[in-house]
Amino acid sequence: MCGIVGYIGSNPCVDVLVSGLEKLEYRGYDSAGVAIVRDGVLETRRAKGKLINLKRAIKAEPTDGLLGIGHTRWATHGAPTVDNAHPHRSGEIAVVHNGIIENYVELKRELVGHGHVFASETDTEVIAHLVNHIKTARKLSLVDAVRAAVRRLHGAYSIVVVDASEPDVLVGARLASPLVLGFGTDENYLASDVSAILNHTRDIVFLDDGVLATVRAGSVTLTDIETGKEVEPVIKRITWTPSMAEKGGYKHFMLKEIHEQPRAIADTLRGRFSLERCEVDLPEIPVTAEQLQNISQFYVIACGTSWHAGLVGKYHFEDLAGLATHVELASEFRYRRAPIDERTLVLAISQSGETADTLAALRDAKARGATIISICNVIESSIPRESHGTLYTHAGPEIGVASTKAFTTQLAALHLLAIRFGHLLGRLAPEGVVRELEALLHVPAMMEAELEREHDYASIIRSWHQVHSMLFLGRGNLYPLALEGALKLKEISYIHAEGYAAGEMKHGPIALIDEDVPTVVLNPMDAHFAKVRSNLAEVKARSGPVLTVATDGDAEADEIGDFKLTVPDVPETVLPLMMSLPMQLLAYYMADFKGTDVDQPRNLAKSVTVE
């Protein structure tokens, strides 16, 4: 996620903006900029890379004023360049934006038709031109022009807008992306994140979706974007320390990122399908129906959690597209002489885009003629740069070393890609496309509800935090989730854990079962329900403690296991998404109870750029 800071008041603000952006650096970014209204003139300074570059740009060409906005950009549309850095301007209007504008292509076409000239590849720039266009054409105030403009935007946004011709007002609006308002004395602030303004004020309003903020030095008015009716601000006194503020009030980044998943998944799906046309649109993946029909091999290569995502993807590609899929650990694949030719398709999955093994395997396959596509969370990182096409997840920067939102957005992206391939190959009829999309679209809201149930974990953790070893069992597309549950637990709690396909129990791991080795059994009501329940009974018969992760309403699970967590009754193709939450939260609470360093576990790095 990008970072926003805005200021209006009686003091020169460039330092407030830059120091606010510094407080947002922990979120990750690849360019930054400010726009300041100085003596009725709009001045922008922008730079690629770290804030030090922006500071240099400001030092080289000083600017300051009583009204301004600043931004750190995490690239989603367009490379991290100066031209793509925010603020974006149209005439004397400048805008900073977090989120994704789904209909920017149509809006851009319309605005170009009206004579607007675009200087960047971003979706954000359309907002600046749209506000300017509406303001001029309809002779409106900035506030009314912003209100009219945001009503035409589809997608997610938090924006802050300034206009040099109205230097007494700062305008903000939000929809599905956070924006907070901070109150000072003869000065007020807007920011994407409390931490950016905590040094100046602790009186904060967390703006609701659909609210427009008209902010002046001495007053603030909130109105509903649609109706124009005034909304009463609910001011909260924030007592967080700066470190708590960075984590949005959560104890760890990992927990914050677990809670960000509904939004991250919605952002990853946004603008990539049409229910009316029964289609998934992925122009970034240049694979044709003809190419898919003639594929010799389809390999998915990845490491760690991304490999687990790939294993779930195998079920999607085989079920929805009928595509035989080989999911490979990149560290092994790179040293094998697997059959590869010009008809081979390789999908590399990596949240960071820099994992050395995945990159080396990709290069080797590419050199041997394969077409390379990738799923990645970091725009312009090495893996996308060396791929023929990349489907970006829109998880925003992930700071916790243990991957959570990057994983579930990979699952959503893989599902979209499999629907697309299924459609291209004629394996998925329009009704099937709609069925899969609707299942995916319900996930964010269901995750929100599941995240409310955190107290369910307390008794499990109290009983099990001292165990030395655990097993995770799953079957079908939940086998990879058993692997992921075990990986999460060992990464952050240092408890030894193994994930197994439930059917493999009797081929070895059952020998480990006794009263000191708990087993987590992923046993929702799916096609494998009865078989997995038998596996569960086998564990109980050997005195093994059991946590059953069952479907809501499965009363028998209470009797047969020692503990129960539940997931909602959802179509099987989205069960791995819903099952991710109990896997992540179990590991998180276990580690937190033990007091380990959840966000920076020992011996691990966020981006593994060495072999």
Footprint on this chain of ligand M6R (rule: CB under 6 A):
303-306, 350-352, 355, 358, 401-403, 491, 604, 607-608
- Under 8 Å between Cβ of 200 and 188: no
Which of 259, 236, 173 is closest to 209 using CA atoms? Answer: 173
Of 531, 540, 594, 606, which one is the catalytic site residue? 606
- Shortest distance (Å) from residue 4 CB to ligand M6R: 27
- Cα(136)–Cα(92) distance, rounded to whole angstroms? 11
Q: Rounded to a whole number, what is the distance in angstroms from the first to the last CA of the chain?
A: 29
Q: CA torsion sign, 598 to 600 to 601 to 604?
A: positive
- Rounded to an integer, what distance in angstroms lies between the CA atom of residue 83 and that of residue 77? 12
Specify the residue, 310 or 422, whose C-beta has the smaller distance to ligand M6R: 310
376 noted as active-site residue: no
Say whether 141 sits in a helix, a strand or coil: coil
Given the complex with ligand M6R, which of 305 and 548 has the nearer CB atom? 305
Smallest distance, Å, CB 355 to ligand M6R?
3
Nearer residue to ligand M6R within complex by CB, 386 or 569: 386
Report the distance separating Cα 365 and Cα 262, nearest Å. Answer: 35
- 2 catalytic per annotation: yes
162 pairs with which residues across the strands?
Answer: 94
Number of other CB atoms surrounding residue 369 within 10 Å: 11
Which helix (H) or strand (E) element contains residue 38? Answer: strand 31-38
Alpha-carbon dihedral 129, 276, 270, 370, rounded to 10 degrees? -110
In angstroms, give the least distance from the CB of 125 to ligand M6R.
30
Assess contact for 518 and 496: CB atoms under 8 A: no
Cis peptide before 576 (omega within 30 of 0): no
Q: Are strands 170-175 and 180-183 parallel, antiparallel or unpaired?
A: unpaired
d(CA 225, CA 208): 11
Q: Which of 2, 278, 303, 376 is catalytic?
A: 2
Q: How far is the CB of 412 from ligand M6R (least distance, A)?
A: 15
Q: What is the C-alpha separation between 558 and 523, in angstroms, rounded?
A: 12
| Shortest Å, Cβ 384 to ligand M6R | 12
CB of residue 305 vs ligand M6R: minimum separation in angstroms? 3
Cβ at position 403, least distance to ligand M6R in Å: 4
> Using CA atoms, how far apart are residues 290 and 548, in angstroms rounded to an integer?
45
Min separation Cβ 485 and ligand M6R, Å:
12
* Chain position carrying tokens 């909260």: 236
What is the residue whose two structure tokens read 């266009």?
133
Which stretches of 251-370 are assigned E, i.e. beta strand?
A: 273-274, 279-280, 298-302, 326-329, 345-350
- Neighbour tally for 425: CB within 10 Å: 16
- Is residue 180 a contact partner of residue 191, using CB atoms and an 8 Å limit? yes
- The CA angle 146-149-154, to the nearest 5 degrees, is 130
- Phi and psi at residue 187, in whole multiples of 5°? -160, 145
Note the Cα 388 to chain centre separation in Å: 23
The CA–CA distances, whole Å, from 569 to 85, 174, 575 equal 43, 32, 8
Which residues are within 8 A (CB) of 186 and not within 5 positions of it... i.e. 6 or more apart?
A: 9, 10, 217, 218
**Nearest approach, Cβ of 400 to ligand M6R (angstroms)?**
8
Q: Which is nearer to ligand M6R, 144 or 380 (CB)?
A: 380
Q: Smallest distance, Å, CB 250 to ligand M6R?
A: 18
User: Which residues pair with residue 280 across a beta bridge?
Assistant: 273
**Position with the least CB separation from ligand M6R:** 304
Spatial neighbors of 337 by CB under 8 A, at least 6 apart, are none
Residues 495, 514: Cα–Cα separation, whole Å: 16
Task: Name the residue nearer to ligand M6R (CB basis): 460 or 598.
Answer: 598
* Residues with catalytic function: 2, 606
